Amino acid sequence: MRLRQFFELVDVQARMSLKAEASKLYLSYLWWVLEPVLYVLVFYFVFDVVLASGKADFLLFLMCGKIPFLWFSKSVNSGSNSLVQNKGLMGQLDVPKTLFPYVTLQEVLYKQWAVFLVLFAMVMYYDNMPTLNWLWLVPLMVTQYVFIAFCTLLGAWLVSYVRDVRMLIHMGTMFMLFTSGIFWDINQVQNEALKQALLTWNPLAFMIDAYRSVLMQNQMYDLRHLGVLAGVMAAGLVLVHGLYHGQSKRIAARIVAS
Amino acid sequence: MSEILLSAENVSLTYKTRVGGFKWFEHKALNDISFALKRGDKLGILGRNGSGKSTLLRILAGIVPPTSGSVICTPGVKRSLLTLGLGFRQDLSGRDNALLSAMLQGYRRRDAKARLEEIKEFSMLGDFFERPLFTYSSGMRSRLGFSTALYTGIDILLIDEALSVGDATFRERAQNALEQKLGGDQSLVFVSHMPGQMAKLCDRVIWLEGGVVRMAGDVAEVSEQYELPAEPMRE
């Protein structure tokens, strides 16, 4: 399958999937915006009204962490099932198996656009107007996508061997939720060694901090760190692609027989 | 002598399936199958349920590898499993499903889109073509499936019981369309449990039983033996 054909297929499959999903709902595509807005409202109610955290922009702080995190967790959790879920198709068609996780990634990505727009609107509501500095979000998002793709493809491959891995992936994303500095500020960790370890070994912790630097403080993040991260993740992704390519038929045989 | 497009050499396949916990169950679905398919050949694979015919087709299509033995496909030869309703989704319209399915069979988006009117016309679905699939009757669904699957440009067609679709009128239409497509150099591997269909499409038949070739040869000869009462299924 040629590369362009592959991209077209990923795109059409993802759109069709979203269309099918939207057709079942009365408010159809409106949910793409409604869902994140309701999400913000729930957090507002809990943290600003009930807990009365006191800090003026705590809600914004939360959302700058939670929304990029949701992109990660939704992709990885649903993408990890993508190979085993497409058992029927896999038994009838010799396609590159990377197709299935990428379709899920693309589905989540299309929806994520609306979610990011809600986030940007919220940032502006808090008087942080867009500057040219916001353009630094682009390399950040690209790196995050590569990171997500790496995790999803690896996860889906592991699940195709042992389905139990799915449980571990759920636990793993939960672990990330609490260690990536979504509810707390990583810069306030007193132990410097621990802080550095978190930033080095948890890519999401670094990325979430970077989103906040740009959106809340209108500042630059550590570009060198991002560069290294992007390089490592891209290399990992290439390796996983090699794995899928070499094992294409074995994956199909395993899933068809399961 | 015409060229060999696809050959199977001592193909065997053992399924190793997990049946809960750490328990595994092994089943030899195919055992030492060999044959060759030349350009223009129309080969039928006849067999009862569980005889291994669909598994063999899957191996021939290059979807799964055999446990031992090999399948050799001449480089550059396009083979495809003609599957009814490939990747169909209940909540999408006939048009969307046809587009998706054609693209899965290897069409580019614009080529697939260009075929949609032809598919609509052939399927005789009319307005239903624009409605979601869950509103279809099972006959309508197979019409859409057949119409979509038919529009492919490949050297070897691998077909799994494709003709048992729709009502009598549509079945005849489907049969004619297929025969037309099969004229000339088109090679075919057709899988079915009914010898009647084989006689119309194939010139050579392999009869599979319990994963081994029970008999091979002319359609009429094999059919005659096949129609005798079945033996009980064995492991």
What's the pLDDT tens digit per position in A167-202? Answer: 999 999 999 999 998 888 988 889 999 999 999 999
What would the two tokens of residue B62 be? 């290059």
Structure tokens at B148: 């979509």
Q: What φ, ψ does residue B4 adopt, rounded to 5°?
A: -85, 125
Query: SS3 of A28, please?
Result: helix
Query: According to the model, what pLDDT value does residue A106 have?
Result: 96
Q: Who's near B221: CB < 8 A, 6+ residues apart? A: B215
Instruction: Give Cα separations from B171 to B145, B166, B183 (angstroms).
Output: 13, 6, 18
- Does A135 score more than 90 pLDDT? yes
**CB nearest to B63's CB, from A17, A21, A94:** A94
- Flag if A249 and B15 touch (Cβ within 8 Å): no
pLDDT of B159 over the 80 cut:
no
Region at B185 (left for phi over 0; alpha for psi -120 to 50; beta for the rest): alpha
Q: Are A168 and A76 in contact (CB under 8 A)?
A: no
CB contact under 8 A, A257 and B16: yes
For residues A102 and A79, what is the distance between their CA atoms, to the nearest angstrom? 8
What integer pLDDT is reported at residue B229 of this predicted model? 64
CA neighbor of B216 nearest in space, from B1, B73, B4, B8: B8
Residue A159, pLDDT score: 95
Strands B24-38, B4-18: pairing is: antiparallel
Contact A12 B61 (CB under 8 A): no
Q: Do A5 and B92 touch (CB under 8 A)?
A: no
Q: Residue B165's pLDDT is what?
A: 61
pLDDT over 90, % of chain A: 67
State yes or no: pLDDT of B235 exceeds 60.
Answer: no
| CB-count burial class (<10 Å; 0-12, 13-18, 19+) for A13 | buried
ipTM above 0.90, yes or no: no
Instruction: Give the full edge-to-edge strand order of the sheet including B68-73.
Output: B24-38, B4-18, B68-73
User: Could B87 and A89 be called an inter-chain contact, meaning their C-beta atoms sit closer than 8 Å?
Assistant: yes
Q: Taking an 8 Å Cβ-Cβ cutoff, which residues of chain A contact chain B?
A: 1, 4-5, 8-9, 12-13, 16-17, 19-21, 23-24, 89-95, 249-250, 252-253, 256-258
Q: What are phi and psi of A41, to 5 degrees?
A: -65, -40
pLDDT of A18 reads: 92
Give backbone dihedrals phi and psi of B69, rounded to 5 degrees, phi first: 80, -175
Residue B76 has pLDDT above 90, yes or no: no
Instruction: Kindly state the tokens that stand for B48.
Output: 């009862």
Listed in sequence order, the DSSP H helices in A44-183 are: 58-79, 82-85, 87-90, 99-125, 137-161, 165-179
| d(C-alpha A132, C-alpha B54), whole Å | 59
Residues in chain A with CB shorter than 8 Å from the CB of B81 are 92-93
B163-197 pLDDT, tens digit per residue, is 566 677 777 877 777 777 776 677 888 888 888 87
Q: What is the pTM of this model?
A: 0.86
Identify from A11, A93, A95, A164 which residue to disrupt to test chain B contact, counting B C-beta atoms within 10 A and taking the largest count.
Answer: A93
CB A84 within 8 A of CB B18: no
> A58-105, pLDDT tens digit by residue?
889 989 999 999 999 999 999 999 999 988 888 888 889 999 999 999
Nearest to A257 among B17, B61, B89 (CB): B17
Option in B61, B62, B89 nearest A16 (CB):
B89
Q: In the numeric block, which tokens belong to residue B188?
A: 């075919």
With a pLDDT cut of 90, the percent of chain B lying above it is: 9
Q: Please tell me the distance in Å from A156's CA to the nearest CA on chain B.
A: 19
CA distance B123 to A69: 46
The type of residue at B228 is: L
Instruction: Tell me which chain A residues have a C-beta less than 8 angstroms from the C-beta of B18.
Output: 258
Residues in A closer than 8 angstroms to B104, CB to CB, are 9, 89, 93, 95
| CB contact at 8 A, A182 and A43 | no
Chain A's closest residue to B109, CA to CA, is A8
The answer to whether B210 and B52 are in contact (CB under 8 A) is yes
DSSP one-letter string for chain B: -PPEEEEEEEEEEEEEEE-STT-EEEEEEEEEEEEEEETT-EEEEE--TTSSHHHHHHHHTTSS--SEEEEEE-TT--EEEE-TTTT--TTSBHHHHHHHHHHHTT--HHHHHHHHHHHHHHHT-GGGGGSBGGGS-HHHHHHHHHHHHH----SEEEEESTT--SSHHHHHHHHHHHHHHHSTT-EEEEEES-HHHHHHH-SEEEEEETTEEEEEE-HHHHHHHHTSPPPPP--
CA distance A80 to A91: 19
Contacts of B28 in chain A (CB under 8 A): none
pLDDT at site B164: 61
Contact B92 A19 (CB under 8 A): yes
Domain ranges of chain A: 3-257
Contact between B3 and B56 under an 8 Å Cβ cutoff? The reply is: no
Average pLDDT for chain A: 91
> Which residue from B minimizes the CA distance to A25?
B91
Closest-CA residue of A relative to B133 is A20
Give me the sign of the Cα torsion angle A55, A56, A61, A63: positive
- Measured CA to CA in angstroms, residue A20 lies from A3, A36, A85, B95, B161 at distances of 26, 20, 17, 13, 29
DSSP code of A63? H
- Between CA A221 and CA B112 the distance in angstroms is 46
Residues 79-98 of B with CB under 8 A from A: 81, 83, 86-87, 89, 91-92, 96
Greater model confidence, B182 or B127: B127
Name which of B65, B106, B109 is nearest A12 (Cβ-Cβ).
B109
| Binary contact (A256, B58; C-beta < 8 A) | yes
